């Protein structure tokens, strides 16, 4: 009897250890891929110190035990853990790319096109295209905003580690603060705020007659099953019905796509159908990358595709130094990988606040902002087209008309038309961002907007 018990116990331990080793083995590309890609972008795009990044954003779970090597000459980062390693390479204009199903030689062969020159230096041009910001009295309580900025960045009263905070009221910046080590020149990772930028690119293509969002997605692999009913609009409103797991823990679809795939769109395209198209809402980074793939197919060549965001959007709204990274296959990583300054993100918010017009020029077609902020049928008022909405009163302190660009770890661009207000928050707030603190922050900011109204009432 004892022998049987010992045998069963030994077998259980053996099976458990075997399963654990197999599971760990499957995680290794993510454990090493995440820091390699993140650190490469942080060092070569944001110009940050690798030790500071490692002690902050890369100090969690298995990631904290990874050994990272930065090669400044080759502009690569190699991350190692146990027997596995991953390497990411930085290329001018393309940003950083994780080497997966490709190699350094293949990536270096791909050249970025000569972009339309920006005919001005931002530091010598007035806001909004440039960085000369006037000291304008918009009626907002700047003293209150200064206290909010201190509480947000220095004393951490709202939780999270905020790197940058900016408020634009009535078209003008009224507060701008940075954590030590960051400036108005620092380019910050968007994470999923990039999805909203894809909304803008799609809108411009619609206005130019290049893209029809209501047409069925032109994907060969879908033509002989129920996925052939999926439209571009379904993808943009997160109602494609494709099976997807957006949980950022371990081996979810989104982490496998970003760190264990050489073609983000192909990974998402290969997901099976779970619901009829247009009948179910579920947030999916994969859907955005499919849209990027479909947009790429509309161009005659990659030179036109890579030039398009700069020529038709970034250069026109004062974001010429933004970097939109690609996946290893060369498609823009629309789900996650845009780098821009806090002022750039504020300018992007201003474009939507002004109904698609920037500096007197219409960039987005008429009605596009209205379409983008119309709730997806099954989203309970929480999502439009690559924008989050407050129709369902997720943020109780904010008005219903507020909508936002939301990114992983607490990146936000809040756009509040009824208050003529834009709020930009960038930084690092892990462990499920405390939305109650965001609600408190919005409440305090909105009280500063209504300061004069309250004063007159008294």
Q: Specify whether 42 is located in the same domain as 159.
A: no
Q: CA-to-CA distance for 135 and 151, rounded, in angstroms?
A: 23
Instruction: Tell me how many domains the chain contains.
Output: 2
Residue 113 binned pLDDT confidence (cut-offs 50, 70, 90): confident
Closest CA relative to residue 64, chosen from 89, 35, 28: 35
Give a yes or no: residue 203 inside a domain: yes
Give a yes or no: residue 269 inside a domain: no
pLDDT of residue 121: 81
Closest CA relative to residue 241, chosen from 272, 195, 198: 272
Give a yes or no: residue 132 inside a domain: no
pLDDT of residue 110: 84
Q: Specify whether 198 is located in the same domain as 322.
A: yes
Q: Specify whether 56 is located in the same domain as 178.
A: no
Q: CA-to-CA distance for 71 and 74, rounded, in angstroms?
A: 6
pLDDT of residue 18: 43
pLDDT of residue 435: 66
Q: DSSP letters of 277-309? A: TTS-----HHHHHHHHHHHHHTSSSHHHHHHHH
326 touches 95 (CB < 8 A): yes
Taking 50 as the threshold, does the pLDDT of residue 365 lie above it? yes
138 touches 169 (CB < 8 A): yes
Boundary (domain end) residue, out of 109, 125, 151: 109
Residue 128, preceding bond cis, omega within 30 degrees?
A: yes
Q: Please compute the mean of the pLDDT values over residues 42-58 and round it to a whole number.
A: 96
Give a yes or no: residue 390 inside a domain: yes
Q: Specify whether 302 is located in the same domain as 158.
A: yes
Q: CA-to-CA distance for 145 and 167, rounded, in angstroms?
A: 9
pLDDT of residue 389: 98
167 touches 175 (CB < 8 A): yes
Taking 60 as the threshold, does the pLDDT of residue 238 lie above it? yes
Taking 60 as the threshold, does the pLDDT of residue 279 lie above it? yes
Residue 5 binned pLDDT confidence (cut-offs 50, 70, 90): low
Taking 50 as the threshold, does the pLDDT of residue 376 lie above it? yes
Both structure tokens of 245: 């797991």
Q: Which domain holds residue 80?
A: 2-109
| Mean of pLDDT over the chain | 91
Q: CA-to-CA distance for 14 and 12, rounded, in angstroms?
A: 5
Q: Specify whether 98 is located in the same domain as 157.
A: no
Boundary (domain end) residue, out of 85, 109, 133: 109
Residue with tokens 């204009």: 93
Boundary (domain end) residue, out of 109, 127, 151: 109
pLDDT of residue 4: 56
Give a yes or no: residue 287 inside a domain: no
Q: Three-class SS of residue 225?
A: coil
Give a yes or no: residue 255 inside a domain: no
pLDDT of residue 130: 95
Main-chain dihedrals φ then ψ at residue 22, nearest 5 degrees: -60, -45
pLDDT tens per residue across span 74-95: 999 999 999 899 999 999 999 9
pLDDT tens per residue across span 177-206: 999 999 999 999 999 999 999 999 999 999
pLDDT of residue 11: 47
Residue 111 binned pLDDT confidence (cut-offs 50, 70, 90): confident
Give a yes or no: residue 329 inside a domain: yes
Q: Specify whether 93 is located in the same domain as 203.
A: no
Q: How many C-beta atoms lie closer than 10 Å to residue 59's C-beta?
A: 12
Residues with Cβ within 8 Å of residue 96, at least 6 apart in sequence: 37, 40, 41, 44, 45, 77, 88, 89, 90, 325
Residues in the chain, overall count? 458
Taking 80 as the threshold, does the pLDDT of residue 20 lie above it? no
Residue 13 binned pLDDT confidence (cut-offs 50, 70, 90): low
Closest CA relative to residue 164, chosen from 176, 174, 156: 176
Q: What is the percent of the chain with per-residue pLDDT over 90, rounded to a whole number?
A: 81
Q: Specify whether 325 is located in the same domain as 205.
A: yes
Taking 70 as the threshold, does the pLDDT of residue 25 lie above it? no
Taking 90 as the threshold, does the pLDDT of residue 128 lie above it? yes
Looking up residue 164, the CATH number of its domain turns out to be 3.40.710.10
Q: Specify whether 193 is located in the same domain as 318.
A: yes
Both structure tokens of 197: 């930028």
Q: Specify whether 437 is located in the same domain as 358.
A: yes
How many angstroms separate the most distant Cα atoms in the chain? 87
Q: Specify whether 158 is located in the same domain as 70.
A: no
Q: Specify whether 148 is located in the same domain as 12.
A: no
Q: Specify whether 157 is located in the same domain as 89.
A: no
Cα torsion through 90, 47, 359, 169, rounded to 10: 140
Residue 319 binned pLDDT confidence (cut-offs 50, 70, 90): very high
> Of 23-27, 95-99, 205-209, 342-346, which gets the smallest average pLDDT?
23-27
Give a yes or no: residue 381 inside a domain: yes
Taking 70 as the threshold, does the pLDDT of residue 208 lie above it? yes
């Amino acid at each position: 009897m004892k022998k049987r018990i010992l045998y069963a116990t030994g077998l259980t331990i053996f099976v458990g250890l075997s399963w654990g080793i197999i599971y760990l083995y499957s995680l290794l590309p993510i454990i090493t891929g995440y820091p390699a890609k993140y650190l490469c972008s942080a060092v070569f795009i944001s110009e940050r110190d690798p030790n500071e990044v490692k002690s902050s954003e890369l100090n969690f779970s298995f990631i904290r035990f990874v050994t990272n090597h930065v090669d400044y000459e080759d502009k690569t980062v190699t991350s190692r853990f146990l027997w596995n390693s991953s390497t990411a390479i930085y290329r001018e204009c393309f940003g950083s790319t994780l080497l997966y199903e490709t190699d350094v030689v293949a990536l270096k062969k791909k050249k970025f096109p000569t972009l339309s020159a920006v005919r001005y230096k931002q530091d010598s041009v007035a806001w909004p295209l440039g960085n000369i910001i006037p000291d304008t009295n918009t009626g907002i309580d700047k003293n209150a905003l200064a206290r909010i900025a201190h509480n947000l960045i220095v004393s951490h009263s709202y939780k999270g580690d905020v790197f940058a905070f900016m408020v634009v009221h009535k078209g003008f910046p009224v507060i701008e603060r940075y954590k030590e080590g960051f400036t108005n020149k620092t380019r910050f990772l968007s994470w999923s705020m990039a999805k909203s930028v894809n909304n803008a690119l799609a809108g411009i293509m619609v206005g130019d007659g290049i893209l029809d969002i209501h047409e069925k997605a032109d994907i060969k692999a879908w033509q002989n099953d129920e996925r052939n009913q999926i439209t571009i609009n379904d993808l943009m409103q997160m109602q494609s019905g494709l099976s997807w797991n957006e949980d950022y823990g371990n081996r979810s679809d989104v982490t496998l796509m970003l760190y264990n795939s050489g073609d983000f769109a192909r990974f998402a395209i290969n997901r099976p159908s779970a619901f009829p198209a247009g009948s179910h809402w579920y947030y999916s980074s994969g859907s955005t990358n499919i849209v990027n793939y479909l947009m790429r197919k509309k161009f005659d060549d990659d030179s036109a595709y890579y030039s398009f965001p700069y020529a038709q959007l970034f250069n026109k709204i004062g974001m010429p130094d933004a970097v939109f990274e690609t996946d290893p296959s060369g498609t823009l990583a629309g789900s996650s990988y845009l780098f821009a300054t806090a002022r750039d993100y504020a300018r992007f918010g201003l474009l939507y606040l002004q109904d698609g017009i920037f500096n007197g020029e219409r960039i987005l077609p008429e009605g596009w902002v209205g379409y983008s902020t119309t709730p997806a049928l099954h989203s309970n008022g929480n999502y439009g087209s690559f924008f989050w909405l407050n129709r369902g009163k997720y943020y109780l302190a904010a008005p219903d008309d507020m909508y936002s660009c939301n990114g992983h770890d607490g990146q936000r661009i809040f756009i509040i038309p009824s208050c003529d207000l834009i709020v930009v928050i960038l930084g690092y707030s892990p462990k499920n961002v405390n939305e109650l603190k965001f609600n408190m922050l919005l409440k305090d900011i909105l009280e500063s907007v209504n300061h004069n109204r309250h004063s007159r009432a008294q």
